Structure 1
Amino acid sequence: MSHLYSFIIVMLLSTACSSDSSIGPTINDGNEQPTESDPVYYSTDQFVMGADLSYVNQILDHGGTYSVDGEVENPYKIFADHGTNVVRLRLWHNPQWVQDEVYEDPEKPLYSGFEDVKKGIEESKTQGMAVNLDFHYSDIWADPSHQDVPAAWMEITDIEVLKDSVYNYTYQTLEKLNDEGLMPEFVQIGNETNCGMMFTNAPENFPSLNGCNGNWENLGAVINSGIQAVREISANSETETKIILHIAQPENAEWWFENITADGGVSDFDIIGLSYYSQFSDTPLSGLSSYIQSFRTTFEKEVMIVETAYPWTLENADNYTNIFGENSVEPNYPATNNGQLEYLTDLTRAVIDGGGSGVMVWEPAWITSNMKDLWGTGSSWENNAFFDFNGELEPGY
């Protein structure tokens, strides 16, 4: 929607200015309060207003277009122009299935593989935005229920070898990016690692990284290997990269971070990253700020929402069934343009009230197109995007 981030920023400016948190956002002082027609943009040090744009390159390759007032524009530029200061991009180890299973075409790019992500980083930085590089440490989606071992590491049986593999992969990836001036400002070591990493398809003798089974020492050792690689590259880079550890839903975070810091021995990270989808969470929006404040106090880390979304309609633009349906609509936030805006505004206000450091919306550019994944053609998320079914940025309010 046009000026969505700008509008949220203006609405929240007075709230943010009144915050006295040491870790939370700070706003440049000024004698005049901005108006909606005079938007104020945050720097990443003040507050992250982020968007996960991992699908954009694939959408553009398959007929999708983005426009503002009827004029086709570069989607990265659209987000930068409307207040986005961080682009989040997922990285899979070797997503060969994109060519073999989805497109059955060896000429297709390996979307969310290194070259595709590098292209997204270049586009983002060209538009003046920072980057959050999300290492999934998997060849495919990593989430609380799916943490698959990359095919290249399936034969590993020794935790030391696995640590070295994670270190070398992380180091080499970032080294290549840094050599081209593309070092990300944020790096996630894992994605929604609620029970751990690399365990859902692990062979019997693969080192167990399942914290839910008590394997915190192994999990911590692997996470620390990734962290070490980030720190070493960042030390020789012009970019001082912040490290994020990411858990889905606030109610799961305290238990996880208590265990990973104590039994796992992990301490050298900067940000507690949370997925927050209130529709799937035991934490109501009204309780989010207290969770964030508690995490900041307990763990003395920044706290950031690195995934969230809300629908603006319950209609479909294609035959790919939408993930967010009727049961995803919260009371007082109808599935309308205004409902989406009010929800994201209130969520951002809750993060600021809790002293949090930012919000990243998940895939707000996943419009319908001829792109494919393992489950369908088009988009299962277009009703959560910031664009209408024709790829037009929604009108401002």
Structure 2
Amino acid sequence: MDSGSCRSAQEMWPAISHGVRKEDIMIRSILLASSALCLVSCGGQAEETRLYLGADLSYVNEMEDCGAVYRDDGREVDPYELFAEKGANLVRLRLWHTPDWTEYSTLADVTEAIRRSQVVGMEVLLDFHYSDDWADPGDQIIPAAWADIESDEELAEAVFVYTRDTLLTLNKQGLMPEMVQVGNETNTEILLPANVPEDTGINWERNALLLNAGIRGVREAGRQAGKTPLIMLHIAQPENIEPWFEAGMAAGLENFDLIGMSYYAKWSSKNMEEMGETISRLRHKYGKGVIVVETSYPWTLEGQDEAGNILGEDSLIHAYPATLEGQKQYLLDLTQTVISNDGQGVVYWEPAWVTNSCSTRWGTGSHWENAAFFDYDGMNAHSGFDFFSADYRYPEE
């Protein structure tokens, strides 16, 4: 494919009609494939390289049920179709085991979200939290269904079976995800009876056993289905990721494909350049693709509802003010830094968590609307979407 063909495929992608017809789906699939080839023939990168520019849309189904209406230039739109039209090629979705406090991020909810994502041509990254609630650094609480399992070997078998069977259930409906995260921000040991401080030591014999069980579950589901998702392990913040993988690989972690990293200025001691250097070292030490699978930036410090916002002034970087242009430039520079350091993509968290009529456990509305990709005047898509289709520079081989 020549460089002119690459430009035409990339330019055509945002212009596709948002009606979900078979013809549209076919065109979207062709353009996604063309976009991947552009990274080889136009950018000079290795053949296996694929740039993923995506969004975590785990809240969308709930937001719609809570009355949120998404618009683009005043036109009411299907949010999944909108992200595809704007150039996103990957949707990330979280999965809790058996939550008793919400009806969302369950297997039923995720099934619907995968269907809506894939029908408009976007691939899916399914994020197994292996918990009934948020799993993140220091919060890796074992699901209630497994709490009475006494031996590590039995628990590993439960992880294996659950992972395998979940994926096979999806596959029977034609909804096998293209990627799977085995754990979410697993900085601390997984499947613990209670929260622990982030600096708590990890029993790596146990931790590797359990993570490898999840990996085996994905591989076995792939073997039975005839198509295996790419497997990701995910750590929060670049300062934590290198020591974690060094210890994990020494303990026998194996057979995964991708390294996922969260990068938020609010919680990281590394600047953007240092984050990029970390990506480069990981990529060339382990030979795995590296994706910044969570990042975010506020476009305003003002809230739209009574729920307090998580990203405030302490989230800002001097060069990027809390404006639409500041948010956009942060994303453009971050993505370029990832690409320039041989990273494989960026996923934004969570651009569709807009204000709504429902309540969280901490307030009514959204705690993230000031970092979403929709404005406060009619819930219209704003310039944050531009990062999906920007003209990035790819390093020559």
TM-score computed with the length of structure 1 as normaliser: 0.84
2:212 alignment partner AA: N
Query: For residue 87 of structure 2, what is the aligned residue in structure 1?
Result: 83
- CA-to-aligned-CA distance 1:366-385 (integer Å, 9 cap, x gap): 00011222212210100111
Q: 1:239, CA displacement in angstroms?
A: 3.6
1:59 alignment partner AA: M
Query: For residue 107 of structure 1, what is the aligned residue in structure 2?
Result: none
Query: For residue 115 of structure 1, what is the aligned residue in structure 2?
Result: 108
Pair 1:328-2:332 in alignment: no
Pair 1:172-2:160 in alignment: no
Query: For residue 344 of structure 1, what is the aligned residue in structure 2?
Result: 331
Mapping for residues 199-278 of structure 1, pairs under 5 Å: 199=192, 201=194, 212-263=200-251, 265-278=252-265
- CA-to-aligned-CA distance 1:105-132 (integer Å, 9 cap, x gap): xxxxx20011001110000011111000
Pair 1:52-2:56 in alignment: yes
Shift in CA distance, 234/196, structure 1 to aligned 2, threshold 3 Å: same
Match of 1:126 among 106, 109, 119: 119
How far apart in 1 are the matches of 2:315 and 2:213? 38
Pair 1:135-2:123 in alignment: no
How far apart in 1 are the matches of 2:206 and 2:184? 17
How far apart in 2 are the matches of 1:39 and 1:312? 28
Match of 1:362 among 349, 352, 359: 349
Pair 1:373-2:360 in alignment: yes
- CA-to-aligned-CA distance 1:157-193 (integer Å, 9 cap, x gap): 1111101110111111001001111001000000000
Match of 1:185 among 178, 181, 204: 178
Q: 1:32, CA displacement in angstroms?
A: 7.3
Q: 1:213, CA displacement in angstroms?
A: 2.4
How far apart in 2 are the matches of 1:29 and 1:212? 53
How far apart in 1 are the matches of 2:300 and 2:210? 41
How far apart in 1 are the matches of 2:280 and 2:168? 35
- CA-to-aligned-CA distance 1:124-149 (integer Å, 9 cap, x gap): 01111100000000000000021111
How far apart in 1 are the matches of 2:50 and 2:157? 36
- CA-to-aligned-CA distance 1:298-328 (integer Å, 9 cap, x gap): 1121111000001111110100000011111
Q: Is the 8 A contact 1:43 1:85 kept in 2?
A: no
How far apart in 1 are the matches of 2:215 and 2:323? 41
Q: 1:339, CA displacement in angstroms?
A: 0.6
Query: For residue 104 of structure 1, what is the aligned residue in structure 2?
Result: none
Partner of 1:274, secondary structure, is: strand
Query: For residue 150 of structure 1, what is the aligned residue in structure 2?
Result: 143
Shift in CA distance, 179/32, structure 1 to aligned 2, threshold 3 Å: closer
Q: 1:33, CA displacement in angstroms?
A: 8.0
How far apart in 1 are the matches of 2:107 and 2:272? 36
How far apart in 2 are the matches of 1:144 and 1:338? 31
Match of 2:291 among 298, 304, 307: 304
Mapping for residues 88-99 of structure 1, pairs under 5 Å: 88-98=92-102
Q: Is the 8 A contact 2:90 2:123 kept in 1?
A: yes
Shift in CA distance, 118/158, structure 1 to aligned 2, threshold 3 Å: same
Partner of 1:236, secondary structure, is: helix
Which one is further off, 351-360 or 228-237? 228-237
Shift in CA distance, 246/376, structure 1 to aligned 2, threshold 3 Å: same
How far apart in 1 are the matches of 2:200 and 2:343? 27
How far apart in 2 are the matches of 1:32 and 1:77? 24
Q: 1:212, CA displacement in angstroms?
A: 4.2
Runs of 5+ unmatched residues, structure 1: 1-27, 99-109, 203-207
How far apart in 1 are the matches of 2:254 and 2:56? 26
TM-score computed with the length of structure 2 as normaliser: 0.84
1:230 alignment partner AA: V
Structure with more of its chain in helix, by fraction: 2
Shift in CA distance, 262/68, structure 1 to aligned 2, threshold 3 Å: same
Give the number of the structure with larger relative contact order, counting CA–CA contacts within 8 Å between residues 6 or more apart. Answer: 1
Q: Is the 8 A contact 1:211 1:219 kept in 2?
A: no
How far apart in 2 are the matches of 1:39 and 1:347? 24
Using the aligned pairs only, state the percent identity.
46
Q: CA RMSD in A?
A: 2.2
Q: 1:93, CA displacement in angstroms?
A: 0.3
- CA-to-aligned-CA distance 1:324-351 (integer Å, 9 cap, x gap): 1111111110111111110000000010
